[in-house]
Amino acid sequence: MNIILTEDVESLGSAGDLVKVKDGFARNYLIPGGKAMAATTQNVKMLEHQRQLVQARLNKLKTEAQQLARRIEEVSCTVAKQVGEEDKIFGAVTAADIHDSLAREGVTVDRKKILLDEPLKSLGIFTVPVKLHQDVTAQLKVWVVKE
């Protein structure tokens, strides 16, 4: 019997997969448990339509992320920090500081998407990756200057 999985089933497949199983397994376990539905022509068409909608939404999100990445790469972010002797920064420049500086430039990005391995602790120019989408990562130029 052909069925469409509505949720992930270990050793069988993931949600949305069209699989062939034994009739008893489908009728007695998968369909009553809400883990699958029969693969009628109507259900298969509905599944394909849902896949197309999801794919269109994912494409739209990726396009928006690419546009935001271009905007981020055009902007250079400046963070002013107090410095002591030998131009040593008091504290460090964190993702939150970079987030605030980007907000002043008119670019809104979740600070968790700013991939800073460790806080910046010296003056200079740094390139910081910003992951906007699983396939889109922008390179932000950050200038750390003295106040």
- The string of DSSP codes covering 32-88 is TTTSEEE--HHHHHHHHHHHHHHHHHHHHHHHHHHHHHHHHHH-EEEEEE-B-GGGE
Residue whose token pair is 């396009």: 63
- Termini Cα distance of the chain: 71
Domain definitions of the chain by residue range: 2-63, 65-146
Structure confidence at residue 15 (pLDDT): 87
Q: According to the model, what pLDDT value does residue 39 have?
A: 92
110: which DSSP letter?
Answer: -
pLDDT in tens, the chain (147 residues): 999 999 999 889 988 899 999 999 999 999 999 999 999 999 999 989 988 998 999 999 999 999 999 999 999 899 998 888 887 888 889 999 999 999 998 889 998 999 998 988 889 999 999 999 989 999 999 999 988
Quick one: pLDDT at residue 121?
A: 87
Domain 2-63 CATH (choose: 3.40.5.10, 3.40.50.2300, 3.30.830.10, 3.30.310.80): 3.40.5.10
Which CATH code is given to the segment(s) 65-146? Answer: 3.10.430.100
CA–CA distance, 52 with 141 (Å, rounded to integer):
37
Predicted pLDDT of residue 89: 87
Q: Token digits for 76?
A: 């250079």
Question: Cα dist. 100→35, 56, 79, 80, 128 in Å?
Answer: 45, 32, 9, 12, 15
Q: What is the pLDDT of residue 56?
A: 96
Q: What is the rounded radius of gyration, in angstroms, for the C-alpha atoms of the chain?
A: 25
